[in-house]
Amino acid sequence: MSEVWAYSETEAGANETLSAAKIIADSLSGAAVMVEIGSERKGTASFGKKLVIKTASGPSRSPEFAAEALYLASKSGSPLAMLVASTRNGREVAARLAVKMGRGCIPDSSNLSTDGKHLAGERAEYAGKVQTRLAADLPCVCTVKTGSYAAATGTGGRVTTLEVGEIHTKAALLGANPKETANVDLKAAKIIVSAGRGVKKKEDLKIIESLAKALGGSMGCSRPLSSDLGWLPEEYHIGLTGVNVKPDLYLAVGISGQLQHVAGIKDSKIIAAINTDKDAPIFQAADFGIVGDLYQVVPAIEKLLKSG
Amino acid sequence: MKIAVCVKHAIDESELKVDSEGRPIFAGAGCKMSTFDKNGVEEALRLKASLGGEVVVFTVGSSEARKSMKEALAMGADRGVHVLADTEKMDAMSVADAIAKSAQRTGPYDIVLCSEGSSDTYCGQVPPVIAEKLGLPYAGYARKIEASGGSAKVERALEDSVEMVECRLPFVASVVSEINEPRYPTLIQIMQASKKPVEEIPLQQLEAPPALVSIQSMRAQPMNRKRVTIVGTPEESASKLLELLSKEGVVRR
């Protein structure tokens, strides 16, 4: 029976990817397989089949290691498609795996489908202006855009183990530190109030944070505030190269609305914006826009919220 | 020290237009050096400043791509390698293959740098594929690179952690935009850029593999937003906004 493999180094990514794998496996009358490297994780779901790849070396969190492990396993398992969650490490795993197999790799896609011969997936390109559908002949590799499938929840079933021997990596991992702000989960936030260059100094971020709190949401920022000014850590950066978000409400405060920022917020349910420049591009990307001074409007909104 | 840095002559997403049937118009669309590639060039120049040697710019594209190459040369790179190719028929794998082969032909290089992804399609596949094809150590999403002696320590910026990785030279890395602030070339540098040597290699000479990923369709993604402008005093605007947001059910009052 044809198999579709799902892998991610994170449990959340693995469970989302398994949902995508199930859809493809069903179209191929095959099975979706949750693939683990080293040992089975307790938090990963299954649709009846799990494959644990055992290596003689490791464990390792290196994407180079994971790619080789998956490649060696694919030689005996012969999956028709291998799906990997598109985290930063996942993109490396998938690209390397595809080269090793000499097959195509569809990048960062959602809405996956198959006609039995090809795998196709859709992705946003040109800063979200264009929706492109890409295809590769089966068997192939694909990275699944994180957040685009609901996590699979099934458990139980058969666990198969596969031994693949020694794996050597060329880059040496010296250590890893969790980011101090790793608890800022903008991806899951329902309301985000985001600050941009319209905020004149770092101390003034307090009024943005305060409004975010009053609304029961989280604070984010546009790229200049994290990358250029360093006022906030990179984890707050929302946009193409930062976090892609889809809250119910995205309130852009003092953000001009460069395409690369809009690309990261376009899936929000409602976008509202406050900016002094009536011609700021953010207003074209917003449902509701206030042309005004954030230093007056933001406190006014908070005051109304508190007066109930 | 020989440092290679890859730049893409990419379609300027802010200028991309759409035809009456909602298809993007690529013919005649404006192009620029992919935004994040400037961080790659900057990092190459920074490494050259501390380690000595030369910076060689790589690009794959039509003769038009020479514009982005020149921009990198104006920033301070020493020379260029231009793989002449019609990139419309290529995928990330075949572009990376062309870079890897042209680097083997003109190298060896001690460090090969790329940005994390291009500003047009942002796939992020090219850098790890170059490393895989060249059989070199790789550090993706670098936010800090310190090279000395025969190795480099690299900080990798992942979603929820920062990893420290050690790579023996030669190695490949992709950099995130927070790693540096790209410099602006001076007028004199811009004028001198045209005189810097560029080696042209036709793609046919590199025996490029066929593309394995193809485009099935492309359609413009219209931004369907309400675009309601709220006018009034700060208090009036604030009150109107909250009213609209609670009507949408996204804010509870």
Instruction: Please report the DSSP string for A275-298 in residue order.
Output: ES-TT-GGGGG-SEEEES-HHHHH
CA distance A268 to A130: 17
Specify whether A156 is located in the same domain as A24: yes
Specify whether A15 is located in the same domain as A131: yes
What torsion, rounded to 10 degrees, do the Cα atoms B39, B43, B49, B54 define? -100
* B178 secondary structure, DSSP code: G
**CB-based contact B166 A174, cutoff 8 Å:** yes
Identify the burial level of A178 via C-beta atoms within 10 angstroms of its C-beta, where 0-12 means exposed, 13-18 middle and 19 or more buried. exposed
Distances (CA, A) of A215 to B88, B152, B251: 47, 46, 7
Note the pLDDT of residue A142. Answer: 98
Contacts of A99 in chain B (CB under 8 A): 93, 129, 132-133
**CB-based contact B160 A226, cutoff 8 Å:** no
Integer Rg of chain B from CA: 22
- Is A237 part of a structural domain of the chain? yes
Who among B223, B235, B244 is closest to A284 (CB)? B223
**CB-based contact A288 B136, cutoff 8 Å:** no
Look-up of token digits 């060896």: B108
Who among A215, A241, A289 is closest to B229 (CB)? A289
**CB-based contact A134 B213, cutoff 8 Å:** yes
- CB atoms inside a 10 Å sphere around CB A169: 19
Backbone phi and psi for residue A8, each to the nearest 5 degrees, phi listed first: -155, 150
Specify whether A142 is located in the same domain as A214: no
Residue A8 makes CB contacts below 8 A (sequence gap 6+) with A14, A16, A17, A84, A85, A87, A90
Residue A186 makes CB contacts below 8 A (sequence gap 6+) with A192, A218, A220, A235, A236, A238, A243, A245
A11 in reach of chain B (CB within 8 A): no
ipTM of the complex: 0.93
A to B CB pairs, distance under 8 Å: 245
What number of helices (H) and strands (E) belong to chain A? 7, 15
Grouping H, G, I as helix, E, B as strand and the rest as coil, residue A56 is coil
- Is A178 part of a structural domain of the chain? no
CA distance A238 to B36: 16
Mean pLDDT of B111-128: 96
Grouping H, G, I as helix, E, B as strand and the rest as coil, residue A69 is helix
Specify whether A20 is located in the same domain as A82: yes
Specify whether A122 is located in the same domain as A190: no
Residues spanned by the domain of A239: 186-307
Specify whether A159 is located in the same domain as A12: yes
Look-up of token digits 């919220």: A305
Nearest-Cα distance to chain B for A154, in Å, is 26
Contact A212, A304 (CB under 8 A): no
A12 in reach of chain B (CB within 8 A): no
* B44 secondary structure, DSSP code: H
Grouping H, G, I as helix, E, B as strand and the rest as coil, residue B196 is coil
- Is A60 part of a structural domain of the chain? yes
CA distance A279 to B130: 42
**CB-based contact A241 B177, cutoff 8 Å:** yes
* Domain end position, chosen among A163, A196, A213: A163
A112 in reach of chain B (CB within 8 A): no
Assign residue A153 the CATH number of its domain: 3.40.50.620
- Is A79 part of a structural domain of the chain? yes
Nearest-Cα distance to chain B for A157, in Å, is 31
Who among B166, B214, B227 is closest to A286 (CB)? B227
**CB-based contact A135 B132, cutoff 8 Å:** no
Assign residue A294 the CATH number of its domain: 3.40.50.1220
- Is A169 part of a structural domain of the chain? no
CA distance B184 to B202: 30
A170 in reach of chain B (CB within 8 A): yes
Domain count for chain A: 2
CA distance A174 to A130: 40
- Is A175 part of a structural domain of the chain? no
Contact B78, B3 (CB under 8 A): no
Note the pLDDT of residue A182. Answer: 52
Which carries the bigger pLDDT value, residue B89 or residue A30?
A30
Any bridge partners for residue B18, and if so which? Answer: B24
How large a percentage of chain B has pLDDT more than 70? 100
Chain A nearest-CA residue for B15: A126
Note the pLDDT of residue B98. Answer: 98
**CB-based contact A87 B245, cutoff 8 Å:** no
* Domain end position, chosen among A102, A130, A163: A163
Specify whether A29 is located in the same domain as A133: yes
Who among A124, A175, A249 is closest to B250 (CB)? A249
- CB atoms inside a 10 Å sphere around CB B251: 23
Residue B67 makes CB contacts below 8 A (sequence gap 6+) with B9, B31, B33
**CB-based contact A99 B129, cutoff 8 Å:** yes
Residue A18 makes CB contacts below 8 A (sequence gap 6+) with A6, A32, A34, A44, A45, A46, A47, A151, A152
Strands A157-163 vs A48-54: parallel, antiparallel or unpaired: parallel
Specify whether A37 is located in the same domain as A134: yes
Specify whether A51 is located in the same domain as A192: no
* Domain end position, chosen among A131, A163, A195: A163
- Is A170 part of a structural domain of the chain? no
Specify whether A15 is located in the same domain as A154: yes
Mean pLDDT of B203-222: 92
**Cis peptide bond N-terminal to B170, omega within 30:** yes
CA distance A43 to A35: 13
pLDDT digit string, tens, across residues A99-123:
999 999 999 999 999 999 999 999 9
Q: Please list, residue by residue across A90-112, b when 16 or more beta carbons sit within 10 angstroms of its beta carbon and e when fewer do.
A: bbbbbbbbbbbbebbbbbbbbeb
- Residue B74: enclosing H or E segment and its boundaries? helix B66-75
Note the pLDDT of residue B224. Answer: 83
Could you say which residues from 192 to 251 on chain A have a Cβ atom under 8 Å away from some Cβ of chain B?
A: 215, 223, 226-228, 234-235, 240-241, 248-249
Note the pLDDT of residue A232. Answer: 92
Specify whether A118 is located in the same domain as A238: no
- Is A179 part of a structural domain of the chain? no
Least confidently predicted of A131-140, A149-158, B64-73, B174-183: A149-158
Note the pLDDT of residue A275. Answer: 96
Grouping H, G, I as helix, E, B as strand and the rest as coil, residue A75 is helix
Specify whether A156 is located in the same domain as A191: no
Per residue of chain A (308 residues), give pLDDT as tens. Answer: 799 999 999 999 999 999 999 999 999 999 999 999 999 998 999 999 999 999 998 789 999 999 999 999 999 988 999 999 999 999 999 999 999 999 999 999 999 999 999 999 999 999 888 999 999 999 999 999 999 999 999 888 889 999 999 999 999 999 998 876 655 689 889 999 999 999 999 999 999 999 999 999 999 999 999 988 989 988 899 998 889 999 999 999 999 999 889 999 999 999 999 999 999 999 999 999 999 999 999 999 999 998 86
Who among A130, A182, A241 is closest to B160 (CB)? A182
Mean pLDDT of B117-132: 95
